[in-house]
Each structure stands twice: as structure tokens, then as C-alpha cells.
């Protein structure tokens, strides 16, 4: 049985002071979620990682990105050991905004996933098609390539440690969420690829849905057999809404 997982992606929102006050207000949510057997986490900006971790150490805290080089002349980037120094052990890889605005490719994602795994950090690898690809009937071929190329060369042991998120780009921040049927169909399809790549361990890998997830639709997604949680942008920014997301998926 895969444990439910709810992750907030704050994107470029919240000053350090705002992030700290969320982390404080979320202290009771951690024990509530634990009692309901749900993992919860947030991905603040780099600047706020440390303060959120110190304020709420039991919350899963992920970086929104990372570089795969160990150090050197990569202006504006952050290395994995810098995350480890402040006890951050999750990172998003390949969010569609990184792919579309900053040139992230399946190949660069693969380097990041492998570098993170080598450092015992959990990669939350994001995939999903654009609106044009969706309308062109290309969803499965795009997602298949993203999964196969992004997870290339991983062993079964590695695969057990990753989390995937299916986020159709046309549903992110638009209020146009994918229907439960589409989300489940693609997440099921992803699991068949994982099964092909990693055989019996594919059932252990969590797959999240993301894209306009709100407190009033999160339960529907999570009632689908291949959707184990949600990656949430806008609705994770306010603690009341974050609490409602957790409450609405609790049994
Ligand atoms: P959204 O963002 O929930 O605001 O649509 C989701 C994401 O980008 O992860």
C-alpha cells in the first residue's frame, strides 16, 4: 500500500518571514497528517529552505530545483551538498516551468535525478504534456519519453526511492484541471512504463497528480487507483487551504 503524499510547490512566492509563519502555523498539521498516515511537504524558494526546516523539522522540505554539478562556475545555481548542509532531502526535478522557461530537458533531468539519488536525496520528477501536445493526441508519447529518458540508467533500488508527478502543463495554474479519468489514465500509463523499466518495484513508486488541485477536488484524484497524492501550487500557499487539502484526503 503506497502512503499518500501531498506536496506544496510554492514557486517564487513567500519571503522568508512569510515562509516562517506558514511553517509555524503548519506545526499541528504534521502530527495530524502523521495520525492519518499521510506524508506532507512543501517546496519553498532556496532562500526559505533553512528557516522552514528549522521551524518545522518534521515537514518534508524540498528544493524546487538543483544543479547536478558538484561545484564550480555555474552562476545562480545551487549544488546538492549545499542542500544537504541544511538537511534538505527532497528536490523537484523537471517541473514544467523549469522545462519551458529555463530549458530543462529530459537529459538534464536525468543527470539531476541520478546526482540526487547518489546523495540520498529524494527526487520528485515531474512530467506532463503541453496544451498543443494534448490537443494533438501526443500525451502518452511525450510522457513516455519524459519518463524513460528522465529515469534512464536507474536501478530497481534507485527506482524505489523516487516519486513521480504527472502535471499536464495546460492545467497548471489555469483552473482547468484534468478530469479524474484523464489523470488516472495517464498515471496508470506511467505505471506500466515503470513496470517495464523496473518490474516488481513499480508498485512501490508513488505517482502524484498536479495541476489546479484544490481542496474541493483533491479527494476525487486520490480515489483513483494509480494516483497516490498531489503536487499543489496555488492551493498550498495559504495554511488554511493546505490544511483543507490534508483533511479532505484523510480517511
Ligand atoms: P497549481 O500548480 O496547483 O497552481 O496548478 C501545480 C504545480 O505547478 O505544481
Where are the extended beta strands (E) located within 51-188?
60-63, 90-93, 122-127, 163-166
Centroid of ligand 1 to alpha carbon of 117 (angstroms): 25
Quick one: average pLDDT of 69-92? Answer: 98
CB of 124 shorter than 6 A to ligand 1: no
Among 34, 95, 184, 188, the one annotated catalytic: 95
Closest CA to 221 of 161, 178, 160, 173: 178
pLDDT tens-digit series, residues 118-167: 999 999 999 999 999 999 999 999 999 999 999 999 999 999 999 999 99
Centroid of ligand 1 to alpha carbon of 151 (angstroms): 22
The residue whose C-alpha atom lies closest to atom 7 belonging to ligand 1 is: 233
Residue 167: active-site member: yes
pLDDT score, position 105: 98
pLDDT score, position 175: 83
- Residues with Cβ within 8 Å of 222's Cβ and at least 6 positions away in sequence, in order, are 4, 228, 229, 230, 249
pLDDT score, position 230: 98
Give the pTM.
0.97
User: Mean of the per-residue pLDDT values for the chain?
Assistant: 97
Length of the chain: 251
CB of 94 shorter than 6 A to ligand 1: no
pLDDT score, position 251: 82
**In the block, residue with C-alpha cell 499518500:** 4
Of residues 174 and 20, more confidence is placed in 20
- Residues with Cβ within 8 Å of 133's Cβ and at least 6 positions away in sequence, in order, are 139, 142
CB of 234 shorter than 6 A to ligand 1: yes
pLDDT band at residue 174 using 50, 70 and 90 as cut-offs:
confident
Q: Which letter, b or e, does each residue of 138-167 get, where b requires 16 or more Cβ atoms within 10 Å of its Cβ? A: ebeebbbebbeebbeebeeebbebbbbbbb
Quick one: average pLDDT of 13-28? Answer: 98
Closest CA to 245 of 207, 216, 204, 212: 216
Residue 95: active-site member: yes
CB of 213 shorter than 6 A to ligand 1: yes
Centroid of ligand 1 to alpha carbon of 93 (angstroms): 14
Q: Which helix (H) or strand (E) holds 27?
A: helix 27-35
Return the domain boundaries, the chain.
Answer: 4-250
Residue 130 near residue 169, CB atoms below 8 Å: yes
- Residues with Cβ within 8 Å of 194's Cβ and at least 6 positions away in sequence, in order, are 147, 159, 164, 202, 205
CA 181 to chain CA mean position, Å: 20
Domain 4-250 has CATH 3.30.70.1290: no
pLDDT tens-digit series, residues 44-57: 999 999 999 999 99
Among 97, 129, 133, 167, the one annotated catalytic: 167
Amino acid at each position: 500500500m503506497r502512503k499518500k503524499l501531498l506536496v506544496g510547490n510554492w514557486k517564487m512566492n513567500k519571503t522568508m518571514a512569510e515562509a516562517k509563519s506558514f511553517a509555524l502555523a503548519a506545526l499541528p498539521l504534521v502530527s495530524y497528517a502523521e495520525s492519518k498516515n499521510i506524508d506532507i511537504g512543501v517546496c519553498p524558494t532556496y532562500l526559505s529552505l533553512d528557516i522552514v526546516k528549522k521551524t518545522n523539522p518534521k515537514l518534508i522540505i524540498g528544493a524546487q530545483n538543483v544543479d547536478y554539478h558538484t561545484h564550480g562556475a555555474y552562476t545562480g545555481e545551487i549544488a546538492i551538498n549545499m542542500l544537504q548542509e541544511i538537511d534538505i532531502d527532497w528536490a523537484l526535478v523537471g517541473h514544467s516551468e523549469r522545462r519551458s522557461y529555463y530549458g530543462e530537458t529530459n537529459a538534464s533531468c536525468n543527470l539531476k535525478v541520478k546526482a540526487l539519488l547518489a546523495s540520498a536525496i529524494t527526487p520528485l520528477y515531474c512530467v506532463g504534456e503541453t496544451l498543443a501536445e494534448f490537443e494533438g493526441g501526443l500525451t502518452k508519447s511525450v510522457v513516455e519519453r519524459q519518463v524513460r529518458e528522465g529515469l534512464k540508467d536507474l536501478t530497481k533500488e534507485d527506482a524505489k526511492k523516487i516519486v513521480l508527478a504527472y502535471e499536464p502543463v495546460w492545467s497548471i495554474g489555469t483552473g482547468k484541471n484534468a478530469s479524474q479519468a484523464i489523470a488516472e489514465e495517464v498515471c496508470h500509463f506511467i505505471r506500466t512504463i515503470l513496470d517495464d523499466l523496473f518490474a516488481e518495484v513499480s508498485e512501490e513508486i508513488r505517482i502524484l497528480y498536479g495541476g489546479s488541485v484544490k481542496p474541493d477536488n483533491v479527494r476525487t484524484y486520490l480515489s483513483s487507483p494509480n494516483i497516490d497524492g498531489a503536487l499543489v501550487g496555488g492551493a498550498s500557499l495559504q495554511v488554511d487551504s493546505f490544511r483543507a487539502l490534508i483533511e479532505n484526503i484523510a480517511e
